[in-house]
Amino acid sequence: MAKTKKTTGTSRRKYVYSFGGGKADGRADMKDLLGGKGANLAEMAGHKDLRLPVPPGFTITTEVCTYYFTNCRKYPPGLKEQVDDALRKVEGLMDKKFGDPQNPLLVSVRSGARKSMPGMMETVLNVGLTEKTITGLIQKTNNPRFVYDAYRRLITMYSDVVMEKAAGLEPKDGKGIRSHLEGILHQFKNEKKVKEDADLSTEDFKKLSALYKAKIKEVLGKEFPDTPEEQLWGAVSAVFSSWNGKRAVSYRRIERIPDEWGTAVNVQSMAFGNMGNNSSTGVAFTRNPGSGENQFYGEYLINAQGEDVVAGIRTPAPINKYSQSDHNKHLPILEEHDRGVYRQLEDIRRRLERHYRDMQDIEFTVEEGKLFMLQCRTGKRNGLAAVRMAVEMLKEKLIGKEEVIQRVTSSQLEELLHPIIDPKAEHSAKILGKGLPAGPGGASGQIVFTSEEAVSWYKKGKQVILVREETNPEDVEGMRASKAILTSRGGMTSHAALVARGWGKCCIVGCSDIEIDLSQKLLQVNGATLKEGEWITLNGTKGRFYAGRLPMIDAAEENPWFKEFLKICDSLRRLRIRTNADTPADAAKARSFGAEGIGLFRTEHMFYGKGSEEPLFKLRKVIIARNEEERKKALKELFPYVKKDIKDTLEAMDGCPVTIRLLDPPLHEFVPHNQEQLEELAQSLKISVEELEKRAAALKETNPMMGHRGVRLGITYPEVTEMQIRAIFEAAIELIKEGQKIFPEIMIPVICSVDELKHQEEITQRIHKEVCDQYHVPKIAHFFGTMIEVPRAALTADEIAHVADFFSFGTNDLTQMGFGFSRDDIGGFLPDYLEKRILPDDPFQTLDRIGIGQLIKMAVDKGRSVKKALKVGICGEHGGDPSSIEFCHKVGMDYVSCSPYRVAIARLAAAQAVLNVPRKRKKRT
């Protein structure tokens, strides 16, 4: 909400916040109003612990942006006066005047949203430089070359950002004004036979400015503005307009940033990094954002202005030895080039980390040996770095346990679960090329050279790697669609590196050995030629890439910070984490990720995949049996397979609880389809193929998801339940007799009425007694419970709780039957539902709290009202989704169960849920 403040006796809304000279109107916690950049500039300039050298300026609030768009691009009344007041303050602090021919003040005009949107919006530098002020600035600086260089930069940026893009002009033949001007520069350099901008003289820049202005008039039909006010307001409007530019809008969609937030505009007096060799500009991270190591890490460019570092045009130099790489080690390090400035920066690094208690990403400029801080913000980092920093900052007593857990997002943790190249395979592979390791992990994919191709190949289900000279904000969708990104130019802070890091994508930048030939759709690297569509494999951690497809392995296993981090999560969470595992191998994998039991063992999965031929053949005999006698005979043959499968899994879980669900198979899926299998089965059943086909046809259902499945099978054929219960108890008692701690939990699927459960319970008790007698034991400890996955079961949960020891919510079916959306067919209409915002998310991925959540909460409460000790968990896919896990915590479940690869995510989400939803409940076992 807007804040109002009384100023000079009249009550009016405050739209402009000043900073500079050791004071500031704003603070770091005012990001909603001032944007991230504005809020942090205020904090750096004004907070008593910092008071860093920030060039004075002011921030126009995000509210003005919202106003601007809702009022046909008009500004709120009073804004102009507030801007004028703020500008006067800056002039006072700088002892310069905006537009003064003798002593002119120049300003930068930059965007700054609540959440950083790197490179998505516009910036204009050197605003205030006109024919009149040029002379004054030359006199002041005694550096005409610098002044004319600054002028041609202003003309380029302004004509592109303000006069073309913000004015909504579509470039003719796709050639924008910027490329016209760059063409002039290129031709000029060719004629003068020079390569670098640095080789151009004052006169050259002067001539260039005149040529630029004439071109602007010719192409855009307008003069380049020559008054400081027009320049300033043009730039402010252009920055606001860029909030609704194509790039920014598409980035917001991906990052789910609401359109209503708007951007702030920061107007700040210029600090010049391009005033000669004792001037520079750079970006740095207070810790390494790629690995998390506690080392100052950054790059800078001597005699350059602001955007040059990020633009990736020149290779930036390292600030210190630690930041050196093969790529930049020939360049002078700042620590030696300007010791005083480096020491000052190190001191600022320490103070900023102590103040913000987090890694900061900073931008600085050195103007003739004087350091200025232009930006600081919490630095983006990949998963590897996020985990390491959080754990190390706890040790350094910079943050507490709770903050450690809040510092890592589930998607960052997921990055660590992403694969890396199998070191053995990598060792023997030949390196094709090297670059900077900008996004860790390994990835293989087919080469594409444009973002459009990346998106279209991705849509065809292909795995692609986008290879570009460098990326720019227009490439975001292509980058998103790619498995990894490889660029031939740019540094660790280039666009590709920033974006990839933010998304946790594998990325290598600045691989200068690559030459891309876009017309032929191929690349050449160290003598090799690779065409579009060929496979390559990237090691984004080391910055190397290889031809072909190398095998991948898990990254998390050897990472000590990952393990420590999850232990911290475990110390806070209340929910237990189980896994959905159907094979002993899955169970063992899940145990290695920290699963504390199996929440769903789908027994029918033993009939799928490798090694399933024999049990599947027996199951088919059960399904096709004509009568009880035939079925019982077939069940007897199937029994040893089922018992072995259960026994192996119980054993793999080594004393942890295992929930074994009785068969819930869609019967028709198991009927053989090919002729050979039909004949074999018919022969074994001693019936004709025609007869077999007739019986198979009788099993076909119109709506199998609501057909003869789950408990319904056990009601119709109690002998099927009997066989499974016997297998469970025999497997359990045999392992118990071997000295193992075994605790099976028998789970009945798809029930809708307590009477179904009673029917199955009677069978369970009878078989329990028989097995106990057979093995001479008084009892086999176990639980008997049910899935709650049919809405009627949720509605009658109190009745059901009389019979069940536990409930496990099958939210896949509960969502299917609650919404009436077929879980197998939702793909046909879900995209429309999401696009038209009828649904916020895919309800099969993220639990619908309002509807399905209500059923769950009611069932938990009803169940526990009858049986206080009722154990409650979830085993639908939602058990691995962070938002759904938070809900499970909130309604007081005891555990969530998810696939093995989601276990680590669930451990984190369960700990975060404790912090987001505080509750006073004891850990239940």
In whole angstroms, how close is the CB of 602 to ligand PEP at the nearest point? 5
In whole angstroms, how close is the CB of 647 to ligand PEP at the nearest point? 22
Distances (CA, A) of 409 to 257, 379, 484, 503: 17, 14, 21, 11
813 touching Mg ion, by CB under 5 A: yes
Give the single-character DSSP code of 290.
T
- Rounded to 5°, the CA angle 838-840-841 comes to 120
811 touching ligand PEP, by CB under 6 A: yes
Tell me the window of 228-236, 376-384, 668-676, 806-814 that interacts with ligand PEP (CB under 6 A): 806-814
Helix (H) or strand (E) holding 895: strand 895-898
Helix (H, G, I), strand (E, B) or coil at 839: coil
Tell me the window of 5-13, 306-314, 757-765, 808-816 that interacts with ligand PEP (CB under 6 A): 808-816
Question: Is 752 one of the catalytic residues?
Answer: no
Max CA distance (Å), the chain: 107
Which does residue 484 bind out of ligand PEP, Mg ion, none, counting CB within 5 to 8 angstroms by kind? none
In whole angstroms, how close is the CB of 706 to Mg ion at the nearest point? 11
In whole angstroms, how close is the CB of 747 to Mg ion at the nearest point? 11
Cβ proximity to ligand PEP: between 273 and 880 the closer is: 880
Question: Is 511 one of the catalytic residues?
Answer: no
Which does residue 719 bind out of Mg ion, ligand PEP, none, counting CB within 5 to 8 angstroms by kind? none
**Which residues inside 165-184 make contact with ligand PEP, applying CB under 6 A?**
none
Using CB under 6 A, pick the residue from 289, 437, 810, 853 that binds ligand PEP: 810
604 touching Mg ion, by CB under 5 A: no
Q: Which residues contact 100 (CB under 8 A, 6 or more apart)?
A: 133, 136
Cβ proximity to Mg ion: between 367 and 789 the closer is: 789
Cβ proximity to ligand PEP: between 653 and 874 the closer is: 874
Number of residues near ligand PEP (by CB under 6 A):
10
> Strand 280-285 to strand 97-98: parallel, antiparallel, or no bridges (unpaired)?
unpaired
Tell me the window of 52-60, 161-169, 783-791, 915-923 that interacts with Mg ion (CB under 5 A): 783-791
Distances (CA, A) of 759 to 114, 119, 248, 300, 753: 59, 65, 60, 75, 10
Cβ proximity to Mg ion: between 562 and 809 the closer is: 809
Cβ proximity to ligand PEP: between 559 and 812 the closer is: 812
Distance CA 82, CA 506 (A): 46
Task: Fill in the per-residue mask, 779 to 798: x = in contact with ligand PEP (CB under 6 A), - = not in contact.
Answer: ----------x---------
Which does residue 475 bind out of ligand PEP, Mg ion, none, counting CB within 5 to 8 angstroms by kind? none
Q: What are the residues facing 808 on neighbouring strands?
A: 787, 873
Cβ proximity to ligand PEP: between 813 and 848 the closer is: 813
Task: Fill in the per-residue mask, 812 to 831: x = in contact with ligand PEP (CB under 6 A), - = not in contact.
Answer: xx------------------
In whole angstroms, how close is the CB of 804 to ligand PEP at the nearest point? 16
CB 745 within 8 A of CB 783: yes
Distance CA 109, CA 59 (A): 10
768 touching ligand PEP, by CB under 6 A: no
875 touching ligand PEP, by CB under 6 A: yes
Strands (E), 215-279: 263-269
Choosing from 337, 495, 759, 889, the catalytic residue is: 495
Task: Fill in the per-residue mask, 443 to 482: x = in contact with ligand PEP (CB under 6 A), - = not in contact.
Answer: ----------------------------------------
Number of residues near Mg ion (by CB under 5 A):
3
Task: Fill in the per-residue mask, 234 to 263: x = in contact with ligand PEP (CB under 6 A), - = not in contact.
Answer: ------------------------------
266 touching ligand PEP, by CB under 6 A: no
CB 902 within 8 A of CB 413: no
Cβ proximity to ligand PEP: between 507 and 875 the closer is: 875
Choosing from 65, 506, 875, 898, the catalytic residue is: 875
Question: Which of 423, 401, 557, 406 is closest to 904 using CA atoms?
Answer: 557
Which does residue 876 bind out of ligand PEP, Mg ion, none, counting CB within 5 to 8 angstroms by kind? ligand PEP
Cβ proximity to Mg ion: between 564 and 813 the closer is: 813
Question: Which of 699, 665, 693 is closest to 681 using CA atoms?
Answer: 693
Residue entry with tokens 């319970």: 761
Distance CA 737, CA 769 (A): 17
**Which residues inside 621-660 make contact with Mg ion, applying CB under 5 A?**
none
CB 367 within 8 A of CB 275: yes
In whole angstroms, how close is the CB of 595 to ligand PEP at the nearest point? 16
Cβ proximity to ligand PEP: between 40 and 811 the closer is: 811
In whole angstroms, how close is the CB of 813 to ligand PEP at the nearest point? 3
Which does residue 310 bind out of Mg ion, ligand PEP, none, counting CB within 5 to 8 angstroms by kind? none
Q: Which residues of 70-92 are buried (b: 16+ CB within 10 A; e: fewer)?
A: eeeeebbeebeebbeebbebbbe
Cβ proximity to ligand PEP: between 606 and 875 the closer is: 875
Q: Which residues contact 707 (CB under 8 A, 6 or more apart)?
A: 666, 701
**Which residues inside 547-606 make contact with ligand PEP, applying CB under 6 A?**
600, 602
What angle, rounded to 10 degrees, do the helices at 383-395 and 410-417 form? 110
**Which residues inside 622-681 make contact with ligand PEP, applying CB under 6 A?**
664
855 touching ligand PEP, by CB under 6 A: no
Cβ proximity to ligand PEP: between 485 and 595 the closer is: 595
> Strand 783-788 to strand 744-748: parallel, antiparallel, or no bridges (unpaired)?
parallel
Q: Which residues contact 803 (CB under 8 A, 6 or more apart)?
A: 754, 757, 758, 761, 784, 786
Which does residue 600 bind out of Mg ion, ligand PEP, none, counting CB within 5 to 8 angstroms by kind? ligand PEP
In whole angstroms, how close is the CB of 817 to ligand PEP at the nearest point? 9
789 touching Mg ion, by CB under 5 A: yes
Tell me the window of 211-219, 544-552, 638-646, 807-815 that interacts with ligand PEP (CB under 6 A): 807-815
Tokens of 8: 């000079």
Q: What is the dihedral of CA 295, 323, 288, 485, to 10 degrees?
A: -170
Cβ proximity to Mg ion: between 155 and 711 the closer is: 711
Q: Which residues contact 547 (CB under 8 A, 6 or more apart)?
A: 430, 432, 528, 530, 534, 535, 536, 537
Using CB under 5 A, pick the residue from 46, 57, 657, 810 that binds Mg ion: 810
Q: What is the dihedral of CA 914, 919, 920, 925, to 10 degrees?
A: -60
Distance CA 94, CA 111 (A): 22
In whole angstroms, how close is the CB of 651 to Mg ion at the nearest point? 26
Estimate to the nearest angstrom the gap between the alpha carbon of 852 and the chain centroid.
26
In whole angstroms, how close is the CB of 849 to ligand PEP at the nearest point? 16
Cβ proximity to Mg ion: between 104 and 749 the closer is: 749
338 touching Mg ion, by CB under 5 A: no
Q: Which residues of 496-517 are buried (b: 16+ CB within 10 A; e: fewer)?
A: bbbbbbbbbbbbbbbbbebebe
CB 335 within 8 A of CB 350: no
> Strand 506-509 to strand 484-487: parallel, antiparallel, or no bridges (unpaired)?
parallel
Tokens of 838: 């009828």
In whole angstroms, how close is the CB of 811 to Mg ion at the nearest point? 9
582 touching Mg ion, by CB under 5 A: no
> Site residues (CB under 6 A) for ligand PEP?
600, 602, 664, 789, 810-813, 875-876
Catalytic residues: 495, 875
> Site residues (CB under 5 A) for Mg ion?
789, 810, 813
